[in-house]
Chains A and B, each alone.
Chain A
Amino acid sequence: MNDNDPIVLAMQVKEIVQALELKVYSGEEGLDREVSGAYVSDLLSDVMGHADTGQLWITLQTHKNVMAIASLKDLAAVILVAGHKPAENTVEQSNEEGIPILGTLLSNFEISGRLYELIKNR
């Protein structure tokens, strides 16, 4: 980015999908959602208490309660790490809510590092 570029404050989920080569499992309707940051945790009440609207949630949890929380917290999308795949009813709710479930083969450490690099200057 050079100094003359307009300041872009938010990134869309689909830009992150592209940049980090994420798999899109479901919730394609939500790929335009704006991302305000991310939270990394596999403890659901930790996410409930500390994640915020518009964030990506990086986790290895794949069951339906992940989508219940993503929806209640208005998260931008969920990223499943290390090749974990969403359960069938998790996919269903993701499609209903229009909140994407994304996937990577990378560990939570690696994907978080790359994501941080990508969005820290925004």
Chain B
Amino acid sequence: MHFEYNIEGGDFTRAGYASSQVKKLLKKQGVEMSVIKRTVVAAYEAEVNVVAHAYGGVMYVDLDDRQMRIVLQDTGPGIEDIQQAMEEGYSTASDAVREMGFGAGMGLSNMKKNAHELNIESEVGKGTRVEIIMQIA
């Protein structure tokens, strides 16, 4: 199965929609609750990063009997130093975004902790591609 969800940069009112669809899908497939929880955390953090840091993007979801593969491809500023970005507490979020409670610099570490596999590629000035792989059976 394949699904695609558009993510609008800067539109916080819709942030989390794609992840809620992922959650529904996994529930319908009868995937174990502990795996659903981990998937939801990783997907949400990746989705919000597109909203908070990029201009826009797409979440691609592929599901088969064994695994779920979630790819977030965005157009945006990209990440100069991915290793630094992964450090808990590192954030370039704007003041407005921080006021909402985002920008703790914990999103990428949440993704790392919860995804079974996490791959990040980024090109400065172009965009970022985040791949989350979850074993569901």
Contact = CB atoms under 8 A, between A and B. Distances in A.
Given A42-B101, A45-B102, A63 B12 contact: yes
Contact of A44 (B13, B23, B101): B101
Interface residues of B, number: 23
Interface string A31-66: 000000000001111101100010000010101110
Interface residues of A, number: 19
A71 interface: yes
Contacts of A43: 101, 104, 106
A97 to B, nearest CB: 10
A69 to B, nearest CB: 7
Looking at chain A's contact residues, the main secondary structure is helix
Contacts of B101: 42-44, 59, 61, 65
Nearest to A45: B106
A53 B48 CA distance: 21
A84 to B, nearest CB: 12
Given A44-B101, A61-B100, A89-B13, A72 B23 contact: yes
Contacts of A71: 16, 20
B105 to A, nearest CB: 8
Contact of A65 (B15, B37, B113): B15
B57 interface: no
Interface stretch (B39-47, B64-72, B115-123): B39-47
A42 B15 CA distance: 17
Interface of B: 12-13, 15-17, 19-20, 23, 37, 40-41, 44-45, 48, 100-102, 104, 106-107, 109-110, 113
19 contacts: A42-B101, A44-B102, A45-B45, A45-B106, A45-B107, A45-B110, A46-B104, A46-B106, A49-B106, A53-B37, A59-B101, A65-B12, A65-B16, A65-B102, A68-B16, A68-B44, A71-B16, A72-B40, A89-B13
Interface of A: 42-46, 48-49, 53, 59, 61, 63-65, 68-69, 71-73, 89
